[in-house]
Chain A
Amino acid sequence: AQKVTQAQTEISVVEKEDVTLDCVYETRDTTYYLFWYKQPPSGELVFLIRRNSFDEQNEISGRYSWNFQKSTSSFNFTITASQVVDSAVYFCALLTTDSWGKLQFGAGTQVVVTP
């Protein structure tokens, strides 16, 4: 069975602080995809990053960076120098060969950035 755990329910920071969101996943599949999505108050789920199980290279894109560690089944996400517009719920999600339609989402982490 697939499972995604986001242990942090809410993180509050002051603008310009860094924020790291934790994500731990479970799957028996060797081929899978991991995603981070952002959901602002408007409700739309915005795709941020995808990582494949067969590619462990970590990347930085602007203020966003990701740390994918297959050995610990973790896919953490960092926002550097947070801004008020980063306030949203962030979801980690897993897609596996078990079902190419079924994204398994974590419970989400609410990020609150105050000025």
Chain B
Amino acid sequence: DTGVSQNPRHKITKRGQNVTFRCDPISEHNRLYWYRQTLGQGPEFLTYFQNEAQLEKSRLLSDRFSAERPKGSFSTLEIQRTEQGDSAMYLCASSTQGSRGGNTIYFGEGSWLTVV
């Protein structure tokens, strides 16, 4: 199995610009997740998909954030009108649906965003 793939790995952008991150999950994983992590903190949940359906969004996901998974395979996370507070590592993860609902969630290497 190839792991969860994210790109770009690093992005520096000016405040006010839009950025988009792409995530390719492990093949055959029907669940895909986005998390955000700032320095010194644990990851925080943003949103997750089961196939192409976005099942849950965190209150952290403001109107400037949008995530899609149009064909139930790769996903994109777009941040519009970036702010300095958006600087963080954005982690994508994937899993299958376990027999009792949950299963192991595998993370990618993350995409670092710096807003200047």
Contact = CB atoms under 8 A, between A and B. Distances in A.
Interface of A: 31-33, 35, 37, 42-47, 50, 52, 54, 91, 93, 95-97, 99-103, 105-108
Nearest to B49: A101
* Of A43, A52, A107, most B-chain CB atoms within 10 Å: A43
Contact of B41 (A31, A52, A107): A107
B48 A101 contact: yes
B88 to A, nearest CB: 11
A107 B56 contact: no
Given A47-B104, A105-B42, 11 more contacts: A35-B104, A42-B109, A44-B109, A45-B91, A46-B107, A100-B31, A100-B97, A101-B48, A101-B56, A102-B48, A103-B45
Contacts of B55: 101
